[in-house]
Amino acid sequence: MTTQAALLWELQTLDLNLVKRRRRLKEIAALLGDHQQITQKRESLNAAETALRPVQTRSRDLDLEIKGLVQKAKTASDLLYSGKVRNPKELEDLQEEIAGLQKRQKQLEDSLIEVYLDIEERQTGIKSLQADLEALLQTEGTEHQKLHREAQKLQEELQDLEQTRQTAVQKIDPTALKKYDSMWVAKKGTPVSRLEGESCKLCGVEQTTIIVQKVHRGQELIFCHVCGRILS
């Protein structure tokens, strides 16, 4: 005959299996919802792209300004060599104007080179961030697939265990079951211990001969005299 304590021990094994799977399902749900790394990478990428825009605008402005200067210098130069201007003072002014325009052009071209270098560096940074993000998304995709599969398997196992539990509970005396339930939290999920030789398996303490005999007889619930667990 299976004793109540033995039935409770079976129930406890079932319950611990249920707890383990429910806990893992919670972990998986948290892992599936955690996109922190990807969010951070996306934010860095957005920031880098936003910061690039004004630099690109500056490059276009400089380019236009240089073209304007080149055009102005050309007009002045054409006039200088057209033979239309004869007055020495006017000719001198024109030459000065051309020299001034060329000097300014040189300055702007130097600035433009720096802006180009800046853009290049920023674009390299953006490409590297994009590659990082791509890699993260791929890893997450694979990881998430694995987690989804694991969760599905756990759900199926949970259903089976719950059914087995329903059947197991029916065989247990209601008073014994009540005792088990009431001890579940306080004993952190192990209200039942086994007798190993003459000792309680969970606290390791040797039991009195009377306790051992009573456990073997199995007519009532017997408790470990140290940890208080039901002995089976």
Contact residues: Zn ion, CB under 5 A:
200, 203, 224, 226-227
Long-range pairs for 54-62: beta carbons < 8 A, 24 or more residues apart: 55/115, 55/118, 55/119, 55/122, 56/119, 58/115, 59/112, 59/115, 59/116, 59/119, 62/108, 62/111, 62/112, 62/115
Output 48 or 227, the one with its CB closest to Zn ion: 227
Cβ neighbours around 182 below 10 Å, total:
11
CB 215 within 8 A of CB 195: yes
Q: Minimal distance in Å, beta carbon 200 to Zn ion?
A: 3
Output 136 or 227, the one with its CB closest to Zn ion: 227
Output 73 or 200, the one with its CB closest to Zn ion: 200
Output 3 or 105, the one with its CB closest to Zn ion: 3
Both tokens assigned to 49? 């792209």
Q: Minimal distance in Å, beta carbon 182 to Zn ion?
A: 17
Q: Minimal distance in Å, beta carbon 207 to Zn ion?
A: 8
Length of the chain measured in residues: 232
Q: Minimal distance in Å, beta carbon 229 to Zn ion?
A: 5
Q: Minimal distance in Å, beta carbon 223 to Zn ion?
A: 8
Output 113 or 203, the one with its CB closest to Zn ion: 203
